[in-house]
Amino acid sequence: MSCWTDFLQSSNEYEEGVVNYLDKAFATRAIGDQISCPCKVCCNRFWHHRDKVYDHLIANGIEPGSEQFHYHERTNDADMPHIEDNMDGLLNDIYRDVFEEFPNGLESIGDDASPEAKKFYKLVEDGKQELYPGCKTFSKLSFLIRLYLLKCLHGITNNGFYDILELILELIPEAKLPKSFNEAKKIVKDLGLHYDKIDACRNDCMLYWKDNEVATSCHVCHAPRWKEKENQEETGTQSSKGANQIPAKVVWHFPLKPRLQRLYMCSEIAELMRWHEEKRKKDGKLRNPADGEAWKEFDLTYLNFSKERRNVRLGLASDGFNPFRTMSTQHSTWPVVLINYNLPPWLCMKLEFLMLSLLIPGPTSPGNDIDVYLQPLVDELKDLWEFGLETYDASKQQSFKMYATLRSTTSDFPGYAMLSGWSTKGKFACPHCHYETAHQHLSNSNKTIYMAHRRTLDADHPWRHEEKSFDGTKEERTAPIPLTGTQVLSLLKDWKNKFGKLQPKVNWGDCPWRKLSIFHSLPY
């Protein structure tokens, strides 16, 4: 059989079939310039350009069942706009299967759907409408998103956006467009593509959020909320936020809840959200975070959470980068990204499933003050743990209460110090060895080094008794036992956080802590 398959793959008929397949696939279901590869290795899990897909099909053969183009193929091409730009590619990347899953729109979902789910599918139906009768270039939704993108990129005012809409409707009266900027913004917000801009203190002391939303100056350093203008007099009275008031610093918050709900609005992704429990191999081998002891211990501790396999487990990653791509300019913007560990390992790290939660502006790193900016995210995580979120599961056509937890953080060593509050410099730089870190100061270089790595070896390991090859001593100590969460909270029970770049410098001495991390406020 293998020889016969190899013969077919090397024949001219097979190569012609591959070319015809790619012609049709890229004409009907390409996103940008990629399709899901149907070879026997990729199995429609990975997306590639045409040349790579061709090589895969020639070398690996095609997955059985793909010959009929049923995977992600549109049932009626006339109902779907052809993807011509990256914005439409973005939307299709996020909602890749929803268009094909529900060709009849709201009629194809159950009566048990939540109001949010019905709102979403109504918007999907709007996305299939032509911008005007006979228009094949844009749908109503794709044109509106393109227009909204131009507004953001070029700083067009709300009034300017309204004037553009008015001009288009005057030119094309039958165009299906909103009549005002607020109506357009509502559509974008309902799609889950919106974000909140939260003003922040220029010195990272606080956010103008919740109780401080209308404050005009920082209650810590008393710096004004707005950028000062020339010849502007200080009135000391509250000013309304408008075109003449530019905040000194802004953090972008991308709400988490609607994006988690959206994952369950496609039946295929909803099924994958249960993969960690239903499809994962449970043979004792470590292949996935769900195979780890931390995951299992969490399940035993919080049985009510773990019995619902659709509850979401998230990871958090953050690091700084220079968005200007030049080494001559020092700038550090910090994105905070969430990782969905419910998904299979070959999907959870793909770009379309990574969720940007916060974008913290520069020009300098927030340092320990990152907790100030994490407040909106932590607030959402608390709600998702304590109250849950009514969510519609398209794979089961039912609503359920979805809960979520933050199970881990991922960062480099400096980032670890910022998120945890444990200083990764000085005598106790190792958070694993904590107060038992074996440190030694080199006076000539004025540096601290860390020794005693043999402590982690087995008790009978020959290197423990090797003196000449190491520091001339035998190692008889046991490995340090990491601190538990309860021990950390006990050590920091009376700790008072003070945030802001203008806070007076503190001589920490031998204390490795710099703050009580905001993650300790989570109820798990």
CB count within 10 Å of CB 240 equals 7
Asked whether the beta carbons of 162 and 148 are under 8 A apart, the reply is no
Q: Is the per-residue pLDDT at 77 higher than 90?
A: no
DSSP sequence for 212-277: GTT-SB-TTT--BSBPP-TT-----S----STT--BSEEEEE--SHHHHHHHTTSHHHHHHTTHHH
User: What pLDDT does residue 6 have?
Assistant: 44
Which pLDDT belongs to residue 56?
87
Confidence of residue 337 (pLDDT cuts 50, 70, 90): very high
pTM: predicted TM-score of the whole model, two decimal places: 0.70
Place of tokens 């553009």: 164
Residue 457 has pLDDT above 50, yes or no: yes
Strands 312-318 and 249-253, bridge-based pairing: unpaired
In tens, the pLDDT along 159-193 reads 888 899 889 888 888 888 888 888 887 777 776 66
pLDDT score of 152: 74
Q: What is the pLDDT of residues 37-73, one digit of tens each?
A: 888 888 777 788 888 888 888 888 876 655 443 333 3
pLDDT digits (tens, 9 = 90+) for 93-115: 444 444 445 555 555 556 666 66
At residue 270, φ and ψ (nearest 5 deg) are -60, -40
CA distance 509 to 221: 26
How much is the pLDDT for 302? 95
* pLDDT value for 5: 42
pLDDT in tens, 112-151: 666 666 666 666 666 677 888 888 778 787 788 788 878 8
User: Please, which residues have CB within 8 angstroms of residue 228's CB and are 6 or more apart in sequence?
Assistant: none
Residue pair 188/194 in contact by the 8 Å Cβ criterion = yes
Containing 391, the helix (H) or strand (E) segment is strand 389-393
3-state secondary structure 338-363: EEECCCCCCCCCCHHHCEEEEEECCC
Q: What's the pLDDT at 376? A: 96
Cβ atoms of 215 and 236 within 8 Å: the answer is: no
Residue 4: per-residue pLDDT: 35
Q: Around Cβ 389, how many Cβ atoms within 10 Å?
A: 20
